[in-house]
Amino acid sequence: MPIIDKKLSITTDSKCDLCTGSLCCTYITEEITIPRSKAEFNHLLWQISHDNVELYKDSDGWTLLFKTMCSHLELDGRCGIYEIRPDICKEYSNNYCEYDVPPEEAWDLHFTNHADLYAYVQKRFKKWP
């Protein structure tokens, strides 16, 4: 049985080593303009019909979420291109990240598939399509 060091404190220096799934390297997001029209939601219905594409709304607006692991993430959780990783990776702070709180907790709306979003648009628009 492994010995667990209960005195191990989680700091910003140790946190990423403890984050076995390297959570922040397993998805990308793209903010979108606030969808209002039927045509815009129709387009989102197409996008969300694809595997691993989700949609959420939070206090910042609407965002497409692509659950796709970075091809540079190595089996040990390290970045395979650390020295030349993109700026967004360099600038990402682990001070308060997915390891601390699941991002879903801040989402007002979350759609994981076509059926979810279709049910929403049917309520939102009196006539759909």
What is the distance between the alpha carbons of residues 109 and 42, in angstroms, rounded to a whole number? 17
Q: Residue 40 interacts with ligand SF4 (CB under 6 A)?
A: no
What is the distance between the alpha carbons of residues 2 and 77, in angstroms, rounded to a whole number? 20
Q: Residue 72 interacts with ligand SF4 (CB under 6 A)?
A: yes
Q: Are 112 and 64 in contact (CB under 8 A)?
A: no
What is the distance between the alpha carbons of residues 129 and 122, in angstroms, rounded to a whole number? 8
Sequence-separated (6 or more) residues with CB below 8 Å from residue 44: 35, 55, 117
Q: Residue 79 interacts with ligand SF4 (CB under 6 A)?
A: yes
- DSSP H or E stretch at residue 32: strand 28-32
Minimum CB–partner distance for residue 91 and ligand SF4 (Å) = 11
Q: Residue 38 interacts with ligand SF4 (CB under 6 A)?
A: no
- If the CB atoms of residues 92 and 125 are measured against ligand SF4, the closer one turns out to be 92
What is the distance between the alpha carbons of residues 60 and 119, in angstroms, rounded to a whole number? 23
**Which one of 22-30, 36-44, 54-62, 103-111 is the stretch in contact with ligand SF4 (CB under 6 A)?**
22-30
**Which one of 32-40, 84-92, 101-109, 116-124 is the stretch in contact with ligand SF4 (CB under 6 A)?**
84-92
Minimum CB–partner distance for residue 14 and ligand SF4 (Å) = 9
Site residues, ligand SF4 (CB under 6 A): 15-16, 19, 22-25, 70, 72-73, 79, 81, 85-86, 89, 94, 97-99
